[in-house]
Structure 1
Amino acid sequence: MTLRAGVAGQPISHSLSPLLHGLWIEAAGLDAVYEPFGPPDADGFAALVAEGRAGRLRGLNVTAPFKEQALALADTVSATARACGSANLLVFEEGRLSADSTDGHGLMLALSEQAPALDVRDAPVVVLGAGGAARAAVVALQAAGARVAVLNRTRARAETLSAELGCAVAEPDAVRDAVLIVNALSVRPEIDVDTLRDDAVLMDMTYKPLLTPFLAAGRARGLTTVDGLAMLIGQARPSFEALFGLAPPPVDVRSAALTRLGETT
């Protein structure tokens, strides 16, 4: 029987996950499919989860706006997903649903690939934003030993995140000392890259465009940059293994993703 899995979000047409997983499925010779699902609302997502509980889906990756609902619907939740307050991976097993978050794993893989000289252990790191993406970044970087501070335009949200995860609330000038600045906002941060350390690493969690204005400014300054596509591929790897029971085959999925995005670098 063909194994069915997929990604659920709204909107979903832009998702690169079916491309990545489809290439891995083909290379592994699996009798499986990975489909995009676009439930219109929370009820639609709950109905999709019910399909999984009934044995018609092996699992789902989950993107906005259903990550928090995915966590709430699960029977078992990983410590990472609980700390993040959301889940991007659901696996169905005999009617039961387990939830996990692989976003932080993807972030750390991206850093290891594109900024291999970076060592965040006991080093100051600033995460920009206080939403779900920022939470995942904070959890992963704290686990790696970094001294994480959160900088957000609305300080109250940063203080809430700080109280829940035990990170610091950053003042605007904290970026000057940071070895790593992670942009978890959907907009360009108001940071003067000329004030940053010469060895600072800049990371943007978005991948469209691949070279965001934030990363472009960092490159122009000569700083190391890490793009969101590396993180997307990084979080997809443990998802594939959880869904299909084997590690992703050695396929150059990044090149295929760049082609789909119309990017050349």
Structure 2
Amino acid sequence: MTAWAEVIGDPITQSKSPAIHGFWIEQLGLDARYEARLVHADGLADYLDARRGDADWCGCNVTMPHKQAVLDFLDEVDPVAARIGAVNTIVRRTNGTLVGTNTDMSGFLEPVMGELASRHLFRMARVLGTGGAARAIVAGLAEHGFTIVLAGRDPEKARGILDTLAPTGEHYAVQLDHFAGPTDFAFDDRSQCLDLVVNASPLGMRGQPALAFDWSHAPPGSIAYDIVTDPVATPFLDGARARGLATIDGLAMLVGQAAGAFELFFGMKPPRDRDAELRDMLAR
């Protein structure tokens, strides 16, 4: 019998997860498959109930807008996902128990681990967005000593996320449009500091308006990180490159979080030595 997994969301046609997992399955020669499935919010409970009884179903990835909603329908949630308050991966145990976890945090941090291995006098991240992915990002950055400015359409929601996931330290919640207009703020010497500017929202995604961010708000030497994957080259990253800043695109986090899920689903590590080939395929 063929083991299989899938990704669920609404919408789902834009998902690159089937291409990623399918590439790894082919490279490893596994008798397995990975699919995409449209699941509406009012169908989550029925969907998961149906999957419990399928012994070949290994689990699913969860994308927008279900990362928090699925918590109500799981048998267990591991400590990482429980702390973040969002699930991006569900694993089915052999007895039909459904366990929620979160690989978004490790996937987000993976491309900046080299920077995090260095010592800094100060670390600051400007994070734009307050959805399920943003929760994982805030949790990961807080663990690594960042002062966080979290911007959202609802600053009270942003404040609640910070109070829950980054309860120590001095963090700030602001309106999303706080960064839309130019600033003449004179940044100090940032040579021994690490600054990240993260688009953790769907703004800039194909079919969505661009994120309004004026790059005068980014200190010199900042790293711009956009989790949007379609398109890979977003207006946000184009603006950062025009300022001469280093950039990280959404494929980095997408592949990183998928790697953690793949191992949970199929019991083996994906062939990460083929990442360059995979990225070329995904960027077409």
TM-score, structure 2 normalization: 0.82
Q: Which of 222, 240, 252 is the equivalent residue of 1:230?
A: 252
Match for residue 104 of structure 2? 103
The structure-2 alpha-carbon separation of the partners of 1:166 and 1:250, relative to structure 1 and needing over 3 Å to count, comes to closer
Does 1:221 pair with 2:221? no
Does 1:240 pair with 2:262? yes
The structure-2 alpha-carbon separation of the partners of 1:250 and 1:161, relative to structure 1 and needing over 3 Å to count, comes to closer
Q: Distance in 1 between matches of 2:121 and 2:21?
A: 32
The structure-2 alpha-carbon separation of the partners of 1:129 and 1:242, relative to structure 1 and needing over 3 Å to count, comes to same
Shift of 1:162: 2.3
Does 1:131 pair with 2:131? yes
Shift of 1:48: 2.6
Match for residue 206 of structure 2? none
Match for residue 82 of structure 2? 82
Q: Distance in 2 between matches of 1:179 and 1:249?
A: 31
Shift of 1:89: 0.4
Deviations 1:57-81 (A, max 9, x none): 1111111222223222122212221
Do the aligned residues in 2 keep the contact of 1:71 with 1:81 (CA within 8 Å)? no
Q: Distance in 2 between matches of 1:169 and 1:216?
A: 26
Q: Which amino acid aligns with 2:165?
A: L
Match for residue 181 of structure 1? 197
Please, which moves more after superposition, 235-244 or 161-170? 161-170
Deviations 1:174-193 (A, max 9, x none): 99687111111222443332
How many aligned positions are there? 260
Note the residue ranges of structure 1 that are not aligned, 5 or more in a row.
Answer: none
Q: Which of 242, 251, 274 is the equivalent residue of 1:252?
A: 274
Match for residue 146 of structure 1? 146
Q: Distance in 2 between matches of 1:40 and 1:196?
A: 38
Match for residue 52 of structure 1? 51
Shift of 1:255: 3.9
Instruction: Give the secondary-structure state (helix, strand or coil) at the position aligned to 1:252.
Output: helix
Shift of 1:121: 8.2
Shift of 1:256: 4.1
Q: Percent same amino acid at aligned positions? A: 35
Note the residue ranges of structure 2 that are not aligned, 5 or more in a row.
Answer: 189-193, 204-209
Q: Distance in 2 between matches of 1:68 and 1:232?
A: 18
Match for residue 29 of structure 2? 29
Do the aligned residues in 1 keep the contact of 2:52 with 2:97 (CA within 8 Å)? yes
Q: Distance in 1 between matches of 2:216 and 2:241?
A: 11
Do the aligned residues in 2 keep the contact of 1:207 with 1:229 (CA within 8 Å)? yes
- Pairwise CA RMSD: 2.6
The structure-2 alpha-carbon separation of the partners of 1:228 and 1:136, relative to structure 1 and needing over 3 Å to count, comes to same
Q: Distance in 2 between matches of 1:14 and 1:190?
A: 23
